[in-house]
Amino acid sequence: MFRSLALVLGLFLYVQAAKDWKGQWFPNAPQELVSEAGGVTQDLSNALANEADEPKESGRVAMGIENPDCDDAKHGLEIDFDPYNVTHSTVYMCLEPKADYKGDYNMDAIITEYNVPSAYVANHKCMNNSIEYAERIPSYGTHRPLWPRYGEYRYVPPQRWLHNSEHGAVIALYHPCANKQQVELLKQIVKKCLYRHVITPSQLPSKDRPFALVTWHAILEFSVLERTIVESFIEKYALKGPEQTHRDGQYDHMLLEAAEVVSTIDDSILCPKKQRD
C-alpha cells in the first residue's frame, strides 16, 4: 500500500515543450503551408475538384485498403519483421540474462509526453520503404497503411502498432526477459481495460524499465508492475489519437488472442473493473 502510494507520488512526468517539436511535418509544417501559397491553392483546388464526401488524404497513401503494390499485410513484410523467417524470431526472445530485467521497486515509473501538434498528420509508407524512429519508443510518426487487429501477439513490429495508437489504442510492450508473472498480470489488466489494445513483446523497453504502455503522444515506462499506475495511465491517455476509430485491422500475423469488447466497441468506459482503493 505504502509502496504503491510512493510510486504514484514518485511518478515523474516529462512533457516535451511544443516549441521543441522534432517530428517531421507531413505534408508541410503549418507556416510552410501559409508561405507556400501555391501549395495551399493546390490543396484547395484538389478538395473542390473531389466530389466524394470523404475527406481526401492529399498526397497520403490511403489507410486500411489492401493494395499489393503498397501494403497488403502479406508481402514485403520482412522489411519490418518476417513472421516466416526464424532469424527474425530473435526480436521476441530473451537473449540476455533475465536478472538484468528483473525490475527494481525503487525505480520510479516515467511518463514521457510529446506535444504532437494538432495539425500534424503522420505519413503512411509502403513496404518498399523502411521506417525508422527518432525516439527509442515511438509514440507518433510514419507507419504502415494497414494496422494490426486488436489483441495479443507473439510479436508485432512498431511500424504496425503505431497505427493503432493513432486510432486511440493502448499498446502494451514488455521486454522478452521481463518477469513472467508480471507480464501475465499486465496482459490481464490491459485486456480488462479496453478493446482497443495491442500487446506484444518488444526489445524497445529498457533494462531499468522492462515494461511500457504507448498511446499516441505518451509513453509510460515502469520497472515493476503497479495496477493503479497502469489503469491511471490508460484512463488518462487512451482514446486520444487523432483518427478515432474502433475499426479492426487487417494484419494478423502471430495474433495469439483477438481482443474482446470490454465496455462497448468504442470503449466508452475505460477499465470498468478498476481496482477501487
Provide the binding-site residues for ligand NAG, judged by CB under 6 A.
69-70, 85, 87-88, 126, 128-129
Give whichever of 83 and 117 is closer to ligand NAG, judged by the CB atom: 83
Give whichever of 61 and 269 is closer to ligand NAG, judged by the CB atom: 61
Min. distance of Cβ 126 from ligand NAG in angstroms?
4
Min. distance of Cβ 219 from ligand NAG in angstroms?
27
Q: Which residues sit opposite 153 in a β-bridge?
A: 255
Give whichever of 3 and 74 is closer to ligand NAG, judged by the CB atom: 74
DSSP the chain: -HHHHHHHHH-EEEEE-GGG--SPPSS--HHHHHH-HHHHHHHHHHHHH--SSSPP-TTSPPSS--BTTTB-SSSSGGGT--TT-GGGGGGGS--S-GGGGS--TTSPPEEEEE---TT----B--TTS----SSSS-SSS-B-SS-BPSEEES---HHHHHHHHHTT-EEEEE-TTS-HHHHHHHHHHHHHH-SSEEEEE-S-S-SS--EEEEETTEEEEESS--HHHHHHHHHHHTT-SSS------SB-TTEEEE---SS-TT--SSSTTPPP-
Give whichever of 81 and 150 is closer to ligand NAG, judged by the CB atom: 81
Instruction: State the residue for C-alpha cell 469488447.
Output: 261
- Single out the residue of 97, 100, 56 nearest to residue 210, CA to CA: 100
Min. distance of Cβ 49 from ligand NAG in angstroms?
21
Give whichever of 87 and 181 is closer to ligand NAG, judged by the CB atom: 87
Give whichever of 211 and 251 is closer to ligand NAG, judged by the CB atom: 251
Count of other CB atoms within 10 angstroms of residue 199:
23
Min. distance of Cβ 88 from ligand NAG in angstroms?
6
- Single out the residue of 61, 204, 59, 57 nearest to residue 129, CA to CA: 61
CA-to-CA distance for 243 and 226, rounded, in angstroms? 30
Give whichever of 88 and 246 is closer to ligand NAG, judged by the CB atom: 88
Give whichever of 56 and 180 is closer to ligand NAG, judged by the CB atom: 56
Tallying the residues shown for the chain, one arrives at: 277
Min. distance of Cβ 61 from ligand NAG in angstroms?
7
